[in-house]
């Protein structure tokens, strides 16, 4: 959740730290802080609010140094106050630490430390960790880099919970220490400088060579090198990876918001999700990352798809796709529930865990629980160095590029494309004919151009958004493949505009939902020309009979919706199983433009963070 950046090198640390922190603001923006070793001690600045507030404070009261840490907070323990903002200090005030994660036994640790005379200034679990490490360091016979690593190792042996940590100590100048368990931490390898961050996006201005630290690993960095060890004290092997994207990829360019930029990138990201994966000769998809033979795939009796939020909605569309094309039964499960359920599953069950970041705590826990039960578990994620990508038994990389906006857009459509490829592959291994497979490939090939065409409706959708922006409640309805799209459309409006939006299967309208219909409550119907089009028309008529305003998402050439709906948005025609990739686009734009009309902070909605790494 929170954003961490650490720097050690020959340049001025505050500039590098704040530059990196700006790239991570999507991870939390309740408060922010920075600390540097300045030769005389540790200089610190903290601010409640956004990173811009911290930058103004640093401009007014500059700090200097070549080693430092900084943090942007998404509050877990303690209110949003300057005292609770990171970095936090130990009892001596000579050690500063920033932390992402949750220390579950911090109350017991705090009570024990208070009995020893420690005084705490915040309500956070992180300050307890700082005091714990500082106490262990003060017990060391010499104050060296090795002693600081050993102090951290000893302290973490007493901790229950998750952590991504960056730490400095004024007695060990020119040294930056990090550790991870359950919260991502990336080491950036520069020339005459090295960095730590919770996301590689924070360091692409300095280097694209990174090491993704594993759970229970500790890293000690100085300007000229680094050492990685384990919590047990052993040396750890590592692999240097190359970050695929550049500084340009993580900038907004000419767009006013990341969300709008990422919506308009979808023609390219849909194409990238398919690139090199369609095999015309065999009329199928090639997904080598699944690490499964055709014989193993044919033996699959059931599929379970798990995820959270937008990823779960994508999985619900995938359920329809796989059952339609491959005739394999599919269940979709909240990752937060799957980890605690005793779900009875046949031996040959294949589990897919979907996560944009590859670090979602609940999804990662569900993956591990699935593997513990003996099920092959595959990942669908966007971060090749993520924990889910590393720990899964195989999977598919989305190739969507960095997604900065908190409200997921391009990652969602990439997840849908990947699942369409999986459905095609499984279908061709069972009952789909060669000609049917070719037809599906032809339709997939047309998708990027159809996405581009749908996005040309932006101005029209902006006009509709202005018309309904003052609504207090909105209803979203769809059927079959497009019921999950109704869920996703409602989620986007809730996330970005704070409007009480809810989604329902269209046919459930008369089973209670219709009581909400009135002249002030817009209903959005996803009603493309599919197998249930006439049923959707009937439901729209029921809403109009009760004077409810209706926005309808339909198919180009349709001349029925205009007679019953107040506003109509028509997207290109596609087979039923691909319509969600097109019908979701107007809903993303509708949510965006409503939020802009209301003056919301589109890229950084209140109370939300992009990567949910705590339970």
Query: CA angle at residue 204 from 199 to 205, to 5 degrees?
Result: 130
Do residues 344 and 310 share a domain? Answer: yes
| 3-class state of residue 200 by DSSP | helix
Do residues 271 and 134 share a domain? Answer: no
Q: Are 404 and 262 in contact (CB under 8 A)?
A: yes
Do residues 411 and 393 share a domain? Answer: yes
Q: What is the mean pLDDT of each run of 10 residues along the chain (615 residues)?
A: 90 94 77 93 92 92 96 79 92 96 93 96 94 96 94 96 95 97 93 94 91 95 96 87 80 92 97 96 95 95 96 98 97 92 87 93 93 95 89 95 92 98 97 96 98 98 97 96 97 97 92 91 94 89 92 94 94 96 98 97 82 60
431, 451, 471 — which closes off a domain? 451
Q: Please tell me the predicted confidence (pLDDT) of residue 610.
A: 63
Instruction: Judge whether 171 lies within some domain.
Output: yes
Do residues 485 and 400 share a domain? Answer: no
| 491: its two tokens | 């989620």
Q: Tell me the sheet residues that pair with 48.
A: 31
| 311: its two tokens | 């990823």
Do residues 140 and 108 share a domain? Answer: yes
Do residues 283 and 216 share a domain? Answer: no
User: SS in 3 state form for 140-167?
Assistant: CCCCCHHHHHHHHHHHHCCCCECEEEEE
Domain count, the chain: 3
Closest to 404 in 3D by CA, of 609, 184, 163: 609
Instruction: Judge whether 594 lies within some domain.
Output: yes
DSSP-H helix ranges across 327-394: 335-338, 361-372, 387-391
Contacts of 459 (CB under 8 A, 6+ apart): none
422, 451, 480 — which closes off a domain? 451
Token look-up 């049917």 returns 436
Contacts of 560 (CB under 8 A, 6+ apart): 537
Instruction: Judge whether 589 lies within some domain.
Output: yes
Q: Please tell me the predicted confidence (pLDDT) of residue 28.
A: 65
218, 242, 266 — which closes off a domain? 242
- Residue 581 CA, chain-centre distance (Å), reads 19
DSSP-H helix ranges across 386-505: 387-391, 410-428, 434-455, 458-468, 483-497
Which CATH number does the domain housing residue 198 bear?
3.60.20.10
Calpha distance 180→166 (Å, rounded) = 9
Q: Please tell me the predicted confidence (pLDDT) of residue 572.
A: 97
Peptide bond just before 87 cis, omega within 30 deg: yes
| Domain that residue 321 falls in | 255-451
Instruction: Judge whether 607 lies within some domain.
Output: no
Instruction: Judge whether 248 lies within some domain.
Output: no
Instruction: Judge whether 613 lies within some domain.
Output: no
Instruction: Judge whether 250 lies within some domain.
Output: no
Do residues 563 and 492 share a domain? Answer: yes
Do residues 439 and 550 share a domain? Answer: no
Q: Please tell me the predicted confidence (pLDDT) of residue 438.
A: 97
- Residue 448 CA, chain-centre distance (Å), reads 23
Do residues 386 and 516 share a domain? Answer: no
Do residues 276 and 422 share a domain? Answer: yes
Instruction: Judge whether 247 lies within some domain.
Output: no
Q: Please tell me the predicted confidence (pLDDT) of residue 611.
A: 63
Closest to 554 in 3D by CA, of 141, 440, 545, 540: 540
Do residues 330 and 475 share a domain? Answer: no
Calpha distance 394→331 (Å, rounded) = 20
Which CATH number does the domain housing residue 563 bear?
3.40.50.10490
How many residues comprise the chain?
615
**Cα–Cα separations (whole angstroms), residue 288 to 296, 328, 360:** 13, 20, 24
Calpha distance 226→529 (Å, rounded) = 59
Q: Which residues are catalytic?
A: 2, 610
Q: Are 174 and 8 in contact (CB under 8 A)?
A: yes
DSSP-H helix ranges across 265-360: 266-274, 294-298, 310-326, 335-338
**Cα–Cα separations (whole angstroms), residue 210 to 22, 231, 389, 524:** 19, 21, 16, 45
Token look-up 């491959």 returns 326
Do residues 335 and 190 share a domain? Answer: no
pTM of the model: 0.87
566-591: burial string, b at 16+ Cβ within 10 Å, e else? bbbbbbbbbebbbbbbbbbbbbbbbb
**Cα–Cα separations (whole angstroms), residue 492 to 24, 35, 151, 335:** 21, 36, 45, 20
């Amino acid at each position: 959740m929170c954003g961490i950046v650490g720097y050690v090198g020959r340049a001025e640390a505050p500039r590098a730290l704040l530059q990196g922190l700006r790239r991570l603001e999507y991870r939390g923006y309740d408060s922010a802080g920075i600390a540097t070793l300045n030769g005389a001690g540790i200089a610190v600045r903290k601010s409640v609010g956004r990173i811009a507030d911290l930058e103004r404070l640093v401009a007014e009261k500059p700090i200097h140094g070549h080693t430092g840490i900084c943090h942007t907070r998404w509050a877990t323990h303690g209110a949003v106050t300057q005292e609770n903002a990171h970095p936090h200090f130990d009892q001596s005030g000579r050690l500063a630490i920033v932390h992402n994660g949750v220390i579950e036994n911090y109350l017991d640790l705090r009570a024990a430390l208070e009995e020893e005379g420690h005084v705490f200034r915040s309500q956070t679990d992180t300050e307890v960790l700082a005091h714990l490490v500082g106490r262990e360091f003060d017990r060391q016979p010499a104050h060296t880099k090795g002693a600081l690593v050993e102090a951290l190792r000893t302290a973490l042996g007493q901790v229950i919970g998750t952590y991504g940590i960056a730490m400095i100590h004024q007695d060990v100048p020119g040294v930056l220490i990090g550790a991870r368990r359950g919260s991502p931490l990336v080491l950036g390898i520069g020339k005459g400088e090295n960095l730590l961050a919770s996301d590689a996006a924070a360091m692409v201005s300095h280097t694209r060579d990174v090491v993704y630290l594993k759970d229970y690993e500790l890293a000690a960095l100085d300007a000229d090198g680094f050492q990685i060890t384990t919590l047990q004290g052993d040396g750890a092997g590592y692999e240097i990876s190359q970050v695929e994207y550049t500084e340009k990829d993580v900038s907004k360019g000419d767009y006013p918001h990341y969300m709008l930029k990422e919506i308009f990138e979808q023609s390219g990201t849909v194409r990238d999700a398919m690139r090199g994966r369609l095999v015309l000769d065999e009329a199928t998809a090639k997904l080598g990352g699944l690490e499964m033979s055709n014989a193993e795939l044919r033996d699959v009796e059931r599929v379970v798809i798990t995820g959270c939020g937008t990823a779960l909605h994508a999985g619900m569309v995938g359920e329809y796709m796989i059952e339609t094309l491959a005739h394999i039964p599919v269940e979709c499960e909240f990752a937060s529930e799957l980890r605690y359920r005793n779900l009875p599953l046949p031996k040959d069950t294949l589990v897919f865990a979907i996560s944009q970041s590859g670090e979602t705590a609940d999804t990662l826990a569900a993956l591990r629980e699935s593997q513990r039960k003996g099920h092959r578990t595959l990942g669908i994620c966007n971060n090749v160095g993520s924990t889910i990508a590393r720990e899964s038994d195989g999977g598919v990389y989305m190739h969507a590029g960095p997604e900065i906006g908190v409200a997921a857009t391009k990652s969602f459509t990439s997840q849908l494309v990947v699942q369409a490829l999986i459905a095609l592959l499984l279908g061709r291994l069972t009952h789909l004919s060669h000609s049917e497979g070719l037809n599906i490939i032809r339709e997939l090939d047309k998708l990027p151009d159809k996405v581009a065409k749908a996005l040309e409706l932006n101005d029209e959708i902006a006009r509709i958004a202005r018309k309904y922006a003052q609504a207090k409640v909105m209803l979203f309805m769809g059927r079959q493949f497009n019921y999950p799209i109704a869920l996703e459309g409602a989620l986007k409006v809730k996330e970005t505009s704070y409007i009480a939006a809810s989604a329902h299967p269209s046919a459930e309208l008369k089973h209670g939902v219709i009581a909400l219909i009135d002249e002030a409550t817009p209903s959005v119907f996803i009603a493309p020309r599919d197998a249930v089009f006439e049923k959707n028309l009937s439901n729209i008529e029921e809403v109009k009979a009760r004077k409810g305003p209706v926005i309808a998402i339909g198919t180009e050439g349709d001349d029925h919706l205009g007679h019953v709906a107040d506003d109509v948005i028509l997207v290109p025609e596609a087979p039923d199983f691909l319509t969600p990739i097109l019908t979701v686009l107007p809903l993303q734009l509708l949510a965006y433009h409503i939020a802009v009309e209301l003056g919301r902070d589109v890229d950084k909605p209140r109370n939300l963070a992009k990567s949910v790494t705590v339970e």
